Structure 1
Amino acid sequence: MGTLVVILRQLAALRQVCTISSAARRRLGGMRIGAHVDPADPLAEAAARRAEVVQFFLADPQGWKDPQAREDAAALRDSDIDVFIHAPYVINVATPNNRIRIPSRKLLVSHAHAAAAIGARALIVHGGHVNKGDDLATGIDNWRKTFAYAAESGGFVTQILIENTAGGDNACARRFDALARLWDVIGEFGVGFCLDTCHAHAGGEDLVDVVDRVKAITGRIDLIHANDSKDGFDSGRDRHDNLGSGNIDPDLVVAAIRAAGAPAVVETPGGVTGQSADIAYLRERLNG
């Protein structure tokens, strides 16, 4: 499998020397491909990767500061590049800890407003967790309260996508049985879902028929994080790898994107070179 993947990646990368017009890219419909990039100049990063989609942070992913207005807001809104924003990792609206949960809610609202200002399609946030010994039902109800409180003032101004996570026995969105419990109480609020292939694999969920199993719970998949995994199945470790270089059969990643019919973002290492190869590989396989 490894040799074939390398050959396919090389062929796909060579084909990307030719410029892909916006019209040609749009023919892929929902299966537009891109990458998580540095936030300084996302449109330039997209051009360097020939990406149709970009995802980036609006503030320090490990910090609690509100995002600032961007000088390129109009350019981002007017671009034919689809923009997704990833919320900071520190956000955990599920926790019973008031000192984390309440600031998390406020920061999520702040990022939703900032994402709307640049025309982002959605804001992705991790499913969160409760502490060891806490009842997961408490975390799930805290998610319900997050959307209920937002609904009282008109709801989130940007579509919220909850992302499955790789680790933690007390996570709200690692195991799909927990995800089903979560969706039972938040599905009414129109929340969307982001499927991360590395997280599913490392979290102990088989990628075979993963889209069907997720959609049976959520009814939707709005975005795919198309990542390989440096670690084995059910490892609980969130370490992404380039497609075909880790422990996931890349055919399963391609199959998930095709089945979901959703745009895909690679959050893989290697900068422009590594991500361009991953994008080219996916585009080649999806068009082939």
Structure 2
Amino acid sequence: MHIGCHLTIAKGYKKAAELALEIGANVFQFFSRNPRGSTSKELDMEDIEEMERILKENDFGPLLAHAPYIINLGSYKGRIYGMAKGILKEDYERLNEISIPYFTFHPGNHVGKGPEYGVQRIIDALNEIITGNETTMLLLETMSGKGTELGRNFQEIRDIIDGVKYSELVGVCLDTCHIYSAGYDIVNDLDGVLGEFDDIIGLEKLKAIHLNDSMVEFDSGKDRHAKIGEGTIGLEAIKNIINHPNLKDLPFYLETPNELEGYKEEIELLRKLRG
């Protein structure tokens, strides 16, 4: 089972890998740059080589980079749209350079222009960014449906993928808290939800799971992560998710409200729940 959490790379990639080992993780997620700003650091290739050594020696699964929250590829405002494309393109190139397998991002917000408009803006941006020569896969994250968020349903995700020329380089990161808040009942009908995902998008496009419980009720449209077993999704449903035949071999990344010790406890718990 490949399970881990979100870790900072502020002190380097090697340090992040060492912290992952300390808490019993064998994957981790990190921000591609400052999550609420536009600054990024130069790559330290020696540090990255040290990280790669640790990953190889300890049978790590695929690392997942997360784009900063500030980007909005669905925006109608030229400056915001241009900045989002610039950041995603620059980070995508850097992540390819260091062979990070997956790069996930929040699709964006249409800000009142309507889902169809926003979806097309995202498609246009991705067709500018992806050249077809990359090895890193871009993953659209499933969203809770707050406000004018795009990616709140499987149809919108599918429409984006279908519109991208090099669609083989676009997949999905499914967030358990988000889809539960968006009205997909993974507690009482996990098989049905995954069947719907397969029919609309295709399970072969599902590459990663953000494993989170939820502070809010089903179909709330709100994004409030809870610790594993302490929310409305609950431990039994989480157990079913990590053991489901269509999900169990995917990498799981925790984004729960925890410090390192809390993540360590959650990872230990999830390993015990694994059938």
TM over 0.5: yes
Contact 2:141 2:172 in 1 (8 A): yes
| Structure 1 residue 206: Cα displacement | 1.5
- Specify whether residues 215 and 93 from structure 1 end up closer, same or farther in structure 2 by C-alpha distance, changes over 3 A only: same
Give the corresponding residue for 2:21.
47
Which string of whole-angstrom CA distances, capped at 9 and with x for unpartnered residues, describes residues 132-171 of structure 1? 2x121111111221222234x4455521011011232432
Work out the CA distance in 1 between the residues paired with 2:149 and 2:77.
15
Give the corresponding residue for 1:163.
141
Asked whether 1:148 is paired with 2:147, we answer no
Give the corresponding residue for 2:50.
75
Give the corresponding residue for 1:198.
177
- Specify whether residues 155 and 127 from structure 1 end up closer, same or farther in structure 2 by C-alpha distance, changes over 3 A only: farther
Contact 2:140 2:157 in 1 (8 A): no
Work out the CA distance in 2 between the residues paired with 1:244 and 1:183.
33
- Specify whether residues 100 and 51 from structure 1 end up closer, same or farther in structure 2 by C-alpha distance, changes over 3 A only: same
Work out the CA distance in 1 between the residues paired with 2:22 and 2:141.
27
How many residue pairs get aligned? The number is: 255
Asked whether 1:32 is paired with 2:2, we answer yes
1:246 pairs, out of 228, 231, 240, with 231
Work out the CA distance in 2 between the residues paired with 1:187 and 1:279.
38
- SS in structure 1 of the partner of residue 4 of structure 2: strand
- SS in structure 2 of the partner of residue 65 of structure 1: coil
Which string of whole-angstrom CA distances, capped at 9 and with x for unpartnered residues, describes residues 24-73 of structure 1? xxxxxxx4111111223211220121101011113210112244313521
Segments of 4+ moved more than 6 angstroms: none
Work out the CA distance in 2 between the residues paired with 1:60 and 1:94.
21
Identity %: 29
What stretches of structure 2 of length at least 5 have no aligned partner? none
- Specify whether residues 146 and 155 from structure 1 end up closer, same or farther in structure 2 by C-alpha distance, changes over 3 A only: farther
- SS in structure 2 of the partner of residue 72 of structure 1: helix
- SS in structure 2 of the partner of residue 170 of structure 1: coil
Give the corresponding residue for 1:136.
115
Give the corresponding residue for 2:201.
218
The one-letter amino acid of 1:277's match is E
- TM score, norm. by length of structure 1: 0.81
The one-letter amino acid of 2:231's match is G
- TM score, norm. by length of structure 2: 0.85
1:263 pairs, out of 251, 262, 268, with 251
Contact 2:208 2:250 in 1 (8 A): yes
The one-letter amino acid of 1:147's match is L
- SS in structure 1 of the partner of residue 83 of structure 2: helix
| Structure 1 residue 234: Cα displacement | 2.1
Which string of whole-angstrom CA distances, capped at 9 and with x for unpartnered residues, describes residues 190-227 of structure 1? 21100000111122221123333223222221000000
- SS in structure 1 of the partner of residue 63 of structure 2: strand
Contact 2:96 2:134 in 1 (8 A): no
Give the corresponding residue for 1:126.
106
Contact 1:77 1:120 in 2 (8 A): no
RMSD: 2.0
- Specify whether residues 185 and 72 from structure 1 end up closer, same or farther in structure 2 by C-alpha distance, changes over 3 A only: same
Work out the CA distance in 2 between the residues paired with 1:83 and 1:119.
9
Contact 1:73 1:117 in 2 (8 A): no
- SS in structure 1 of the partner of residue 108 of structure 2: coil
Contact 1:67 1:110 in 2 (8 A): no
What stretches of structure 1 of length at least 5 have no aligned partner? 1-30
Which string of whole-angstrom CA distances, capped at 9 and with x for unpartnered residues, describes residues 80-121 of structure 1? 333211110111112222111111111111111222333311
| Structure 1 residue 281: Cα displacement | 1.9
